[in-house]
Amino acid sequence: MTTILDVHKLTRNFGGLAAVTDVEMHLERGELIGLIGPNGAGKTTVFNLLTGVYPPSSGTIGFTPDTKEIQLGGKKPYMISHAGMARTFQNIRLFKELTVLDNVVFAMEQREKYSLLSSFFHLPSWGKSKQKVRERSLELLRMMNLETKAEELARNLSYGDQRHLEIARALATDPKLLLLDEPAAGMNPAETAQLTELIEFIRKTYNLTILLIEHDMSLVMKICERIYVLDHGIVIASGTPDEVRNNPKVIEAYLGEEVEDV
């Protein structure tokens, strides 16, 4: 395997407050990695740094979607998305007044290259490309069991279906690295079990590397190959699920009595 993400001494300060400090993290191509820790540990801040929402105060983020490494520090979110990184959000962010299908089409079209001439005059090449986008979008909805709801408004979907739609929209950008921010939040056990299977399926189907923030330890311990643990913005442990669940620092800072149940 080759490294797809190499984070070195990543730090972000807000005024006099250090949100994350000297974070070291690397992901090999094809891995499914967990990022866990108590509320306020800095997990979402790490995602925001990786995706360009915040620039780092210091440190480097090396991203290798293909063969050439790209330094992401200071790049805009749209540039990072075009490079091959996509994410979902802890608080679902959909275009609620658009249809389910249009949410995916809109995301997919951001990677399409239309000539000004073909789009302005609606030439056959433009029409073929639009049709291709629609068909590929429907395929994603079919995989998420949302095809029959393609023409419904996104705001009318159930909470679980909105989560699935957000993942479909992220996949529509054709990422090499997918960041999932608490995808199981608010789900019942049956929905979480279904989501677990879905994550494993899309990883294999799309040959993705996945970085996952999640508080549901049964999900994390089941599907993650390695786990990083943040506490107060610092990585206090990393390793396999067994190594992490038995780490005294992790038990004290986060897992506590839960370790007996995961």
Q: Would residue 127 count as lying in a domain? A: no
pLDDT confidence band for 243 (50 / 70 / 90): very high
Structural domain includes residue 101: no
The answer to whether residue 97 sits within a structural domain is: no
The token pair at 175 is: 């990422």
Whether residue 57 lies inside any domain: the answer is yes
DSSP 88: -
Nearest CA among 20, 185, 204, 167 for reference residue 90: 185
CA-only gyration radius of the chain, Å: 19
Asked if the structure places residue 240 within a domain, the reply is: yes
Judge contact between 82 and 174, C-beta under 8 A: no
Count of domains forming the chain: 1
Residue 233 lies in a domain: yes
Contact 61, 72 (CB under 8 A): yes
* Residue closest to 151 by CA, chosen among 105, 100, 106, 95: 100
- What is the pLDDT at residue 138? 94
Residue 91 forms part of a structural domain: no
Q: Tell me if residue 113 falls in helix, strand or coil.
A: coil
CATH number, domain of 222, equals 3.40.50.300
Residue-wise pLDDT for 75-106, tens only, equals 999 999 999 999 998 888 899 999 999 999 98
Domain hosting residue 53, numbered range? 3-84+175-261
Residue 122 pLDDT class (50, 70, 90 cuts): low
Lowest mean pLDDT among 9-23, 34-48, 244-258: 244-258
